[in-house]
């Protein structure tokens, strides 16, 4: 009896570990999401259905920013698949809302996770929208290096160092005339960087 109790306890603890282990994803710039995904779409969520450990979303695709041939086939059904729980990297979307979604195709099915892009359209900046429509694809030969949270990066010819939220919201990394990759200069990025430096200066005043 005692041995059975121990076995049951171990089974329970294993189950707890499975469901409490957090989903971990490396921070990813929107441009990297665009370049590394099988599809990037603008879609309105119509409804959701849950079956077993999977959540199914029925969506209406409004625009295709990037899509592979397999993605075209998979998204004809208008169905997006994601794990049920966020601990398994599942994404929770709200019916009726418009999202930019990036993801991958597995077995001719479209999958989205917390490690992909799932952002409400209204929360994107104008620069991000322009990137999705036109500019991100021109920067896919450049790598964006994560340099935030105290991580030190060195200048690389084939990449841009991503160090702040301004570069997330307003930055597009493109290869320049000299063949090196740089954040393209634009007013929105310059204004954001200046504002951030000013806030940092005020914070550090005695």
Residue 58 lies in a domain: yes
The domain that holds 80 is classified in CATH as 2.40.50.120
Q: Are residues 83 and 164 part of one domain?
A: no
Residue-wise pLDDT for 113-154, tens only, equals 999 999 999 999 999 999 999 999 999 999 999 997 777 888
Q: Are residues 106 and 40 part of one domain?
A: yes
Residue-wise pLDDT for 11-39, tens only, equals 334 443 344 467 889 899 999 999 999 99
- Helix (H) or strand (E) segment spanning residue 183: strand 181-183
Q: Are residues 81 and 52 part of one domain?
A: yes
Question: What pLDDT sits at residue 149?
Answer: 73
Residue 192 lies in a domain: yes
Question: What pLDDT sits at residue 111?
Answer: 98
- The upper half-sphere exposure of residue 104, i.e. CA atoms within 13 Å in the direction of its Cβ, equals 8
Contact (CB, 8 A) for 79 and 58: yes
Domain boundary among 122, 154, 171: 122
Residue 13 lies in a domain: no
Give me 14's structure tokens: 């294993």
Question: What pLDDT sits at residue 153?
Answer: 86
Q: Are residues 189 and 117 part of one domain?
A: no
Contact (CB, 8 A) for 116 and 91: yes
- Helix (H) or strand (E) segment spanning residue 189: helix 187-204
What domain range includes position 87?
30-122
Measured CA to CA, the distance from residue 185 to residue 66 in angstroms comes to: 25
Residue-wise pLDDT for 40-77, tens only, equals 999 999 999 999 999 999 999 999 999 999 999 999 99
**Domain total of the chain:** 2
Question: What pLDDT sits at residue 171?
Answer: 97
Question: What pLDDT sits at residue 206?
Answer: 65
Strand intervals (E) in 17-152 = 39-51, 54-67, 79-83, 98-106, 109-111, 118-120, 143-146
Question: What pLDDT sits at residue 198?
Answer: 66
Measured CA to CA, the distance from residue 102 to residue 144 in angstroms comes to: 17
């Amino acid at each position: 009896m005692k041995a059975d109790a121990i076995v049951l306890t171990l089974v329970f603890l294993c189950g707890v570990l499975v469901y409490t282990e957090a989903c971990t994803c490396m921070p990813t710039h929107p441009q990297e999401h665009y370049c590394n995904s099988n599809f990037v779409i603008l879609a309105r969520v119509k409804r959701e259905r849950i079956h077993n450990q999977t959540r199914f979303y029925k969506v209406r695709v409004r625009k295709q920013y990037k899509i592979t041939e397999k993605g075209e086939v998979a998204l004809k059904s208008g169905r997006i698949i994601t794990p049920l729980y966020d601990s398994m990297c599942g994404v929770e979307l709200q019916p009726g809302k418009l999202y930019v979604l990036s993801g991958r195709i597995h077995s001719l099915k479209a999958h989205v996770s917390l490690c992909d892009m799932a952002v409400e359209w209204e929360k994107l900046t104008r620069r991000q929208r322009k990137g999705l429509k036109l500019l991100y694809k021109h920067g896919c030969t450049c790598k964006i290096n994560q340099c935030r949270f105290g991580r030190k990066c060195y200048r690389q010819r084939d990449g841009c160092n991503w160090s702040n939220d301004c570069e997330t919201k307003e930055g597009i990394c493109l290869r320049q005339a000299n063949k090196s990759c740089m954040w393209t200069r634009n007013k929105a990025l310059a204004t954001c960087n200046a504002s951030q430096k000013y806030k940092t200066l005020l914070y550090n005043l005695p």
